Amino acid sequence: MSRVLLVNMPFASLRWPHLGLSLLKAAFSRQAIACDVAYFNFDFAEILGVEHYHWLADHFAFVLGGERLFAKHYFPDRLPSDAHYYREVLLPADPGMLAADYRALLDTARHIEPFLDACTAAVDWSRYDVVGFTSSFQQTMPSLCLAQRLKRLRPDIKIAFGGAACEGCMGPELLRKFPEIDYVFSGEADRTFSETVRGGIHEEHEGHKEREKREERERRCVGWESGMIDNLDELPYPDFDEYFARLARSPLSAEIDPLLVFETSRGCWWGKKCRCTFCGLNGDRLGFRSKTPDRTIDELRHLVDRYGIRRACAADNILDPRYFQSLLPMLKTAGLDLSMAFELKTNLSRQQVEILREAGLNAAQLGIESLSTPTLKLMGKGVTAIENLQTLRWFTEAGVAAQWNLLYGFPGEDPAEYARMAALLPSLYHLAPPQMAGRVRLDRFSPYFDKAEQYGIVNLRPHRAFRYVYPFSPDVLERLAYYFEYEYADGRDPLSYVQPVVEAVAAWQRLAGTVTLRYWDRPDGVLIVTDTRPGAQTFQRRLTGVERVVYLLCDTGRTLREIVGHVTATLGADRADESVVGKMLDAWISVRLMAHLDGRYLSLALRATSAVEPPAG
């Protein structure tokens, strides 16, 4: 029976185990196939230092800085020069890039040969028949460099590749262009990889040396259709042992605060109905599947007990909405004491945000993307600006770290929406700011990629960074690239109208955490609002009677009709004169206590928690 080594190369994060490899290892264990996992990303980080390593992993992810370092090693003298790369790729992506940073990037190259030597020497390769490389997070060229060495050292070892960079046509193309790869697995491989190995990768090789031919190599691409797991409860628990062992013996361990990674679902239920136009997640497979709540709790308990870590990050693209009635309340009482991060769609209620918080959510990646409903409609996001805003406010209020991005450049977007957004943003400086304001990326598998013309996207071409990694013809690059560049059929340049939004976001980021807009609803029926945002006209306001009732009602965005109806029901018809209420709302909008979006009014102040003393007055 074959023995398998799974390899996690740079630039995978050091902060968590690799979920895909940990599941594959567990799948091999079930089949009684010996399998180890090598976290060579640690070996590189131990040469570079944690900070430099993560800088390369995160800062250069989309300009492929890490891939290029290894590509220069793999293809000596076949790639365009560093000076070109700097001018054509790095500077356009980051005009403020310092010369020192550029030199630091280039200087990393001298560590590659010793790193590969160390990887080669660290393992007794005669113990393995199959070596599997995972390839996302700039891992393709680092993996190929090591695979090339292995093939020279032990030509009989079978090399398999899998992971996000092998999905769709990218996998077969890698197989065609890189002779060291024997097998590519596209998509989920929980079942197919162990079955293929059990079926005899090794034996097949022994008998059929001539299988080097191109046609047959293509046959060795195992597709996702055969690999998709319908019932996620059938998956084993991931085996993180080697990650934690590697972390424990690393001199870097004191600098790394590890997280558990878990998944409760795969695919996206929203995307299955209406894929967001920019979304390339999940490759070709969006079919949503989720684990049963009992199984999820058992798995989390197992992970917490085994590894003693109580911080976790879900790899899910989206939360199963049924979990509000099942998994999340169960987590509250399960006694796991877990703090978790999840990616979430923003069509939530205040009560749901509270359920999430009580279940242990302490960070969320919110799919906000825009604060303009017409733009959100264009991208098929299925939420409105007001939903985005109220959810952001509830998360800020609940103390859950909200991470989100503000994107622009959606084909067909109305520039006037950006003028409106720029006017709105200074009212929001007391909320969690976006991590970045940036042009929407064009990813493979997204509707923008698949139906570019239909969306008014022209001149679609692989992101220029790929030319600096692969010395191949344009048609090959088209099949290898994950990110693309493009122009608009109507000739627009978003930079001509988004600048005020970009500047407002920069101001927001600078001010984050230093300004507040908060209210206290006192038992004596007085609602106190304090405001320290830049330009605030009054530090403190008192709202009573109808004002208080309306301000509290607009915790969720409300129409004027709803507001008037509510005032009539609670205070009587004589207090609910529509024009009087309308004037009150307008006055609040002018002093930025309230936002008016999509025909709805939303109170902007955060509800004070009991931990904060109400101001006197």
CB proximity list for 497: less than 8 A, separation 6 or greater: 415, 418, 419
Q: Based on CB atoms, which residue is closest to ligand SF4, 196 or 265?
A: 265
Query: If phi over 0 gives left and psi between -120 and 50 gives alpha, with beta otherwise, what is residue 160?
Result: beta
CA angle 218, 219, 220 (to 5 degrees): 90
* Cβ neighbour number for residue 353 with a 10 Å cutoff: 22
Among 282, 384, 427, 530, binds ligand B12 (CB under 6 A): 282
Q: Based on CB atoms, which residue is closest to ligand SF4, 299 or 369?
A: 369
Question: Could you say which of ligand SF4, ligand B12, none residue 23 binds, taking C-beta under 5 to 8 angstroms by partner kind?
Answer: ligand B12
Question: Could you say which of ligand B12, ligand SF4, none residue 446 binds, taking C-beta under 5 to 8 angstroms by partner kind?
Answer: none
Q: Based on CB atoms, which residue is closest to ligand SF4, 47 or 281?
A: 281
Phi and psi at residue 476, in whole multiples of 5°? -70, -45
- Look-up of token digits 């490389």: 133
Q: How many angstroms separate the CA atoms of 398 and 364, rounded? A: 12
> Of residues 436-475, which lie at the interface with ligand B12 (CB under 6 A)?
443
Among 271, 409, 447, 557, binds ligand SF4 (CB under 6 A): 271
The continuous run of DSSP H or E covering 35 comes out as strand 35-38
Q: Which range in 32-40, 133-141, 424-432, 505-513 contacts ligand B12 by CB under 6 A?
A: 133-141
> Of residues 359-378, which lie at the interface with ligand SF4 (CB under 6 A)?
367
Q: Based on CB atoms, which residue is closest to ligand SF4, 346 or 390?
A: 346
Q: With 0-12 CB in 10 A as exposed, 13-18 as middle and 19+ as buried, what is 41?
A: buried
Is there binding between residue 232 and ligand SF4 (CB under 6 A)?
no
3-state secondary structure of 365: strand
Question: Could you say which of ligand B12, ligand SF4, none residue 271 binds, taking C-beta under 5 to 8 angstroms by partner kind?
Answer: ligand SF4
Cβ(142)–Cβ(12) below 8 Å: no
Among 275, 285, 393, 566, binds ligand SF4 (CB under 6 A): 275
Q: Which range in 94-102, 265-273, 418-426, 552-560 contacts ligand SF4 by CB under 6 A?
A: 265-273
Q: Based on CB atoms, which residue is closest to ligand SF4, 321 or 329?
A: 321
Supply 30's token pair: 């079930």
Is there binding between residue 79 and ligand SF4 (CB under 6 A)?
no
Please report the DSSP string for 175-208 in residue order.
Answer: HHH-TT--EEE-S--TTHHHHHHHHHHHHHHHH-
Among 11, 60, 85, 466, binds ligand B12 (CB under 6 A): 11
Q: Which range in 5-13, 150-158, 297-305, 421-429 contacts ligand B12 by CB under 6 A?
A: 5-13
Among 61, 252, 330, 526, binds ligand B12 (CB under 6 A): 61
Is there binding between residue 188 and ligand B12 (CB under 6 A)?
yes
Phi and psi at residue 99, in whole multiples of 5°? -60, -35
Cβ(158)–Cβ(202) below 8 Å: yes
Question: Could you say which of ligand B12, ligand SF4, none residue 270 binds, taking C-beta under 5 to 8 angstroms by partner kind?
Answer: ligand SF4
* Cβ neighbour number for residue 506 with a 10 Å cutoff: 12
- The sheet with strand 339-344 has its strands ordered as 260-262, 311-314, 339-344, 361-366, 401-403
Is there binding between residue 345 and ligand SF4 (CB under 6 A)?
yes
Amino acid (1-letter code) at residue 544:
T
Phi and psi at residue 312, in whole multiples of 5°? -140, 155
Is there binding between residue 247 and ligand B12 (CB under 6 A)?
no
Residues in the chain: 617
Q: Which range in 71-79, 115-123, 155-163, 275-283 contacts ligand SF4 by CB under 6 A?
A: 275-283
Binding mask 86-115 for ligand B12 (x = CB under 6 A): ------------------------------
CB of 259 to ligand SF4, least distance (A): 21
CB of 345 to ligand SF4, least distance (A): 6
- Residue of 163, 219, 175, 129 lying closest to 12 (CA atoms): 163
CB of 288 to ligand SF4, least distance (A): 9
For residue 503, give Cα distances in angstroms to 393, 418, 506, 508, 558. Answer: 21, 12, 5, 9, 30
The continuous run of DSSP H or E covering 551 comes out as helix 545-553
Number of residues that bind ligand B12 (CB under 6 A): 37
Among 29, 31, 120, 136, binds ligand B12 (CB under 6 A): 136
Is there binding between residue 162 and ligand B12 (CB under 6 A)?
yes
Q: Based on CB atoms, which residue is closest to ligand SF4, 318 or 338?
A: 318
3-state secondary structure of 106: helix
Query: If phi over 0 gives left and psi between -120 and 50 gives alpha, with beta otherwise, what is residue 438?
Result: beta
Footprint on this chain of ligand B12 (rule: CB under 6 A) = 11-13, 16, 19-21, 23-24, 57-58, 61, 132-134, 136-137, 160-165, 185, 188-190, 193, 261, 263, 280-282, 315, 317, 443, 482
Q: Which residues bind ligand SF4 (CB under 6 A)?
A: 268, 270-271, 275-276, 279, 281, 317-318, 345, 367
